Amino acid sequence: MSHQTIISYEGVSIQIQAQCDTASASLCRIDKTIEKIRETAKMLRTAEVQEYEKYLLKAKEEIKAKIEAFKKTLERYQKLTTRDTSEYYRVVDELRRQGNELATTAATLTGSKLQAIEAMIRNGLFAEGDAVFQRMKDEASGAVTVDSETLEHINAIEDVSLRELALIQANKNQGRSFEAILQLAKDEYERLLDSSKRGFVEETAAEMRAGGVDETIISKIVEGSSSIDEISEAASAAITDEKVRKETLKVIIKAIKARGFIVDTRNNLKIDREKNVVRLVALKASGQKAEFEIQLSGKFMYRFDGYEGQACKKDIEPFMSDLASIYDINVLHEEVIWDNPDKIQMQQYQHYKTNKN
């Protein structure tokens, strides 16, 4: 007997852990930038360095807070005893919202904002902004080069990079309105990002490769996204998706081993890069075989072969039960491709024999 089925699934716990891992990796990128700022500390006032660090540490805390909120909602989800309830769907919807929000926040704070800061460090613009501010502060004659109202508006800019650039532009364009100065600063900000984009793309592509993302997907992301933030968000999503597939594969291997199958991952685990699927074959000493195909789109196919009669249900049913109860794999849709084809083949043979006679 053979039985082949395609499963559309949702691994909520796996998805959340993958999203949290990806967001946590963004914290490391912020730490690297903080270290670069500290390396330039000798060129800047202590207060200025502290301001940059404060900005980045605030970004870290924002990401951490969203991760913790995400985990607390997961705890609520894990305490639910039944799934087909309005409370279950409310919690799952909340998890989806928090997951999307976390991904967007992490991508933004470690995308263009981080690249702008690093570009300013490379170009020595922090030091230039520091010198401008110091000259303004040290005016002994009482003649203010930039009016106090403009300075007040500049100091209210939250983005440290844009604030520094506005300060530099105010010094170069004395007498112009704050709106004009801000636009000049924004234009310079975009130029800095453009100069950083190539290096950012190379670094992000390397991160995706390290995460096992397929080259075709990497090419689509780096070639089809126009901004650093778009690339950052798409790359994070691709890395997360690959983590989910890998974890789903691990779960399937554990569950199928529990049914007595032997899994030789060295010889019977294949990655089809063209179709972007992972194929796994597991065997029993008595001759039964189970084949799996895990897709990136939230689907997997399984096929059980070599059973007599309905015996394969003794392996399939506990296997599917383990996926749900132990590993939190929620089946959204199940499509049976074929069931007991030996019987079908016998019917076809009998039909052929009758027609022949």
Beta bridge partners of 293: 279, 301
* Same-domain check for residues 213 and 275: no
Q: Residue 45's pLDDT is what?
A: 54
Q: What is the dihedral of CA 242, 243, 249, 253, to 10 degrees?
A: 160
pLDDT digits (tens, 9 = 90+) for 11-69: 888 999 999 999 999 999 899 888 887 776 665 555 556 677 888 899 999 999 999 99
Q: Are residue 140 and residue 261 in the same domain, yes or no?
A: no
Q: Give yes or no: residues 204 and 313 share one domain.
A: no
Both 326 and 234 in a single domain?
no
Q: Where are the alpha helices (DSSP H) in the chain?
A: 12-39, 46-79, 86-109, 112-122, 125-137, 148-155, 160-172, 178-210, 215-224, 228-257, 265-268, 313-325, 341-356
Given pLDDT bands bounded at 50, 70 and 90, which one contains residue 339?
confident
Whole-angstrom distance, CA of residue 91 vs CA of residue 74 = 8
Give the pLDDT score at 262.
94
Amino acid at 349: Y
Regarding whether 262 and 180 lie in a shared domain, the answer is no
Q: What is the mean pLDDT of residues 264-268?
A: 90
Domain shared by 234 and 255, yes or no: no
Backbone angles phi, psi at 2, to 5 degrees: -130, 150
pLDDT by residue (tens digit) across 169-227?
888 888 889 999 999 999 999 999 998 898 999 999 999 999 989 898 999 999 887 78
Q: What is the pLDDT of residue 41?
A: 61
Same domain, 292 and 345: yes
Q: 3-class SS at 5?
A: strand
CA 330 – CA 101 distance, rounded (Å) = 23
CATH of the domain at 343: 3.30.160.110
At residue 135, does pLDDT exceed 70? Answer: no
Alpha-carbon distance of 247 to 237, in angstroms, equals 15
Do 25 and 163 belong to one domain?
Answer: yes
Give the residue with greater pLDDT, 133 vs 293: 293
Q: Please give the residue that has the higher pLDDT: either 74 or 123.
A: 74
How many angstroms separate the Cα of 339 from the Cα of each of 92, 195, 292, 322, 344? 33, 59, 16, 21, 9
Same domain (yes/no): 253, 231: no
Are 233 and 213 members of one domain?
Answer: yes
Residues 174 and 234 grouped into a single domain: yes
Res. 259: pLDDT tops 80 = yes
Number of domains in the chain: 2
Q: 137 pLDDT exceeds 70?
A: no
What average pLDDT does range 145-151 have in this prediction?
Answer: 79
Q: pTM to 2 decimals? A: 0.78
Same domain? For 257 and 223 the reply is no
Residue with tokens 């049976």: 336
141 pLDDT band, cuts 50/70/90, is very low
Which amino acid belongs to residue 260? G
Residue 255, domain extent: 3-9+245-356
End residue of a domain, out of 191, 208, 241: 241
Q: Is the pLDDT of residue 166 over 60?
A: yes
Q: What is the mean pLDDT of the chain?
A: 83
Confidence of residue 130 (pLDDT cuts 50, 70, 90): low
Instruction: Identify the pLDDT of residue 306.
Output: 87
* pLDDT-based confidence at residue 236 (cuts at 50, 70, 90): very high
Question: Using 50, 70 and 90 to split pLDDT, how confident is the model at 98?
Answer: very high
Task: Judge whether 301 and 311 are in contact, CB under 8 Å.
Answer: no
For residue 321, the one-letter residue type is: S
The rounded percent of the chain whose pLDDT value lies above 90 is 40
**Tokens, residue 268:** 């019977």
